[in-house]
Chain A
Amino acid sequence: MENLILYGVTLLLLVLSFLKDGGKTKNALKKAWKSFYNILPEFLGVIMLVGLLLAVLNPDVISRIIGAESGWLGVVLSAIVGAVTLIPGFVAFPTAAMLLKNGAGYMQIGAFVSTLMMVGVITAPVEIKYFGKRLTVLRNTFAFLFSFLVAYIIGKAVGGA
């Protein structure tokens, strides 16, 4: 659905752009291709690593790590699992909901969801290409630490712990 909207909007704008100025549109497509081509090897490498990590860290393993009563250690581990994995939202949220049902705490799930979205260890090679090493490391470190605050507040506000 999300993709359908994305494609629809892109196509509409592309047609409008072409009607207004064919040369400019060609230029835009050239630029799009050049950027895509430049970053493609990093993307493909990231995807191989994603495959590897998700093969090892399947939902079974994850639920064992952040099961009930895992406490702060569980929060730290969930944050690490979230940071190194790259799972699309439509898989991540149902997985998180399932983990909650199986006894994981809100704090652990909060840490997991937060680092999953904000921290990208395997996507770092792509990020470095655009933002450089120092900024990539700093941004991910801050986001990782910030996720503990998010986990703590979610644990207090939602879990009532």
Chain B
Amino acid sequence: MKPLLKRFGFLIAAIAAVAAITLFDASLGFKAVNIAGFSLKEMLLVLPPVFVLMGLLDVWVPKEIMIRYMGEGSGVKGIALAILLGSAAAGPLYGAFPVAAVFMRKEVKFTNILIFIGAWSTTKIPMFVFEMSALGTAFAVTRLLVDIPGIIIIAYALAALIPKEEIKALYKNAENL
């Protein structure tokens, strides 16, 4: 177990910030707490199934299969799968990080994990339908067409910039997350 301060330091700082604002401007502070409550509800709604699915994936899908489809040497197939899996996801981007940790444990190729994160962040299918109806087909389709190559290019650029040892350390760290 990590020391308490390290575990809760950020949370305490965030609460302190809201408390300070409340002292300074009560109505703004209450509004912030209200919105935080709303986000908490959303988070508690989305996260449990995401984590349970992750647990099931971890237990049932053998590493060899994940390596074959998305590991080193999975090529275009791996990229396509990463985009599809990310796009089919539900929930905000923070839900993608725990899934990425499971992918690391299953030795999924690093660029494919980054592509998955990119797809989750911006090409989600349910969101796309919603975006089309709110902002128009031209807007949504243009964004999608620019985003897909963009996600792939960013993934490869990141992988090239991060030293190999650091990536190895991240994979190792994922074992304990």
Chain A residues with CB under 8 Å of chain B are 2-3, 5-7, 9-10, 13-14, 17, 24-25, 27-33, 35-36, 38-39, 41-52, 54-56, 86, 88-90, 93-94, 96-97, 100, 106, 109-110, 113-114, 117-118, 120, 123, 125-127, 129-132, 134-135, 138-139, 142-143, 146, 149-150, 153-154, 157-158
Contact = CB atoms under 8 A, between A and B. Distances in A.
A132 B170 contact: yes
Given A10-B49, A138-B158, 12 more contacts: A24-B60, A32-B55, A33-B51, A41-B10, A48-B14, A51-B36, A93-B134, A97-B134, A100-B135, A117-B127, A130-B100, A130-B177
A35 B177 contact: yes
29 contacts: A3-B45, A3-B90, A13-B53, A17-B56, A27-B59, A28-B55, A30-B55, A35-B54, A36-B48, A41-B7, A43-B94, A44-B11, A44-B14, A46-B14, A47-B36, A48-B15, A50-B35, A51-B31, A52-B14, A52-B17, A88-B92, A93-B131, A94-B134, A100-B135, A106-B139, A110-B139, A125-B10, A135-B170, A149-B146
Given A17-B60, A28-B59, A158 B52 contact: no
B110 to A, nearest CB: 10
Contact of B98 (A28, A94, A130, A158): A130
B22 to A, nearest CB: 10
Nearest to B170: A132
A150 B147 CA distance: 8
Interface residues of B, number: 80
Contact of A35 (B11, B33, B35, B51): B51
Contacts of B45: 3
Contact of B154 (A29, A33, A127, A146): A146
Main secondary structure of the interface of B (DSSP, over half): helix
* Most interface-central of B45, B94, B114, B161 (chain A CB within 10 A): B94
A51 B39 contact: yes
Interface in B18-50: 18, 21, 28-29, 31-40, 42-43, 45-50
Main secondary structure of the interface of A (DSSP, over half): helix
Interface string B118-157: 1001101011001101111011001100110010001001
